[in-house]
Amino acid sequence: MRSPNDIPKYTHSEFRYRFTQKDKFPSGGDGSFRIYKIEDVIPYLKFPLPLQRSDYYEILFVSAGALSSRHCGLKKYDIKPCQIFFKAAGQISSGDIYDANIRGYFCLLEGDFLSRNGISNTALSSFSFFKFGQRPLVDLTAEETDKFTRLFDSMHALREDAGNRRLLAAYLHVFLLEAGALHEQQENITATTNTSSYEQLTSKFLDLVNQHHLKAQQVNEYAGMLHVTPNYLNKAVKQTTGKSALEQIHEMLILEAKVLLKQNEMNVSEIAGYLSFEDPSYFTRLFKNRTGYTPLDYRKRE
């Protein structure tokens, strides 16, 4: 049976070695935060990029040029000039397509980069555009594009300066706060300060499910992470989303299965094993119950 490593999880160094002309690929900084001018790296990437899962967060800021595309899970996102695209750590992605005329910046960062560099109590996962189920795009006016270009220019200038990591983190924090405010406004998301304790707990739960669903699939495991009882967690999730906590876990597993069925050659038993189902027949029943199709029938669908 195949292991989870059959969906590769590349470090930045491994990705650079496999999918770029590494002798010409520019340096973007150290391992915790890397920033590149898109036009500097496009000529040295080997497309199409592979199905993969990464441990780092990604930001793609397109300031000018042609349309580009990014696949995350089952969705394809077309990214236009004057837009920012965000991808949370742990998501399956593939098939990036960038036009040679695209301009802007591309960032890779570890989840604790801010907290390790003087920005306390700020988790990347707390920003709405990194949350599971939210639209990962922010639309910009020409004025906002110019303002963010200056911020990214400043971050790019500091990328190699280890002595200025705190200043780099401060610039990034300003960008995330301003982009987060735009995203909440554009998506009509209620500010966290106005949400109930149930809604805040449910948001944290869904973020954890997005990160840990391959290994943690019981409600009590997430209740332990969140320091609440399983009954309280289930009540909060049910009241907020209309679905039980276990249903939310199963939904994430089914989404993962759909991606694998469409973008991977693993058979149904191997996918069941990858998703930690000991009984492939139970996985098949659950998949059909949730989607109306058997896994094989779903794979055959266009």
CA 169 to chain centre: 20
Q: In terms of domains, do 112 and 198 share one?
A: no
Q: In terms of domains, do 108 and 198 share one?
A: no
Q: How far apart are CA 192 and CA 135, in angstroms?
A: 17
Please give the tally of structural domains in the chain. 2
Q: In terms of domains, do 110 and 134 share one?
A: yes
**pLDDT at residue number 1:** 41
The answer to whether residues 263 and 226 touch, using CB atoms and an 8 Å cutoff, is no
Structural domain boundaries enclosing 293: 194-300
**pLDDT at residue number 94:** 67
Q: In terms of domains, do 214 and 132 share one?
A: no
Q: In terms of domains, do 76 and 145 share one?
A: yes
Q: In terms of domains, do 223 and 96 share one?
A: no
Q: In terms of domains, do 156 and 210 share one?
A: no
Q: Is 70 helix (H, G, I), strand (E, B) or coil?
A: strand
**pLDDT at residue number 150:** 96
Q: In terms of domains, do 153 and 238 share one?
A: no
The model's pTM: 0.76
Give bridge partners of residue 104 from the DSSP assignment: 62
Q: In terms of domains, do 41 and 166 share one?
A: yes
CA quadruple 109, 70, 9, 257: dihedral, nearest 10? 130
Question: What is the chain's pLDDT, residue by residue, as a tens digit (302 residues)?
Answer: 444 445 666 666 667 666 676 677 777 777 789 899 988 888 877 666 666 777 789 999 999 987 887 777 668 888 999 999 999 887 777 656 667 788 999 998 988 899 989 998 788 888 989 887 789 999 999 999 999 999 999 999 998 888 889 999 999 999 999 999 999 999 987 654 455 788 889 888 988 888 888 889 999 999 999 999 999 999 999 998 899 999 999 988 998 898 888 777 789 999 999 899 989 999 999 999 999 999 999 998 85
Question: 68: which residues sit within 8 A by CB, 6+ positions away?
Answer: 60, 62, 78, 79, 96, 97, 98, 99, 102
**Which CATH number covers residue 135?**
2.60.120.280
Q: In terms of domains, do 150 and 179 share one?
A: yes
**pLDDT at residue number 217:** 92
**Which CATH number covers residue 251?**
1.10.10.60
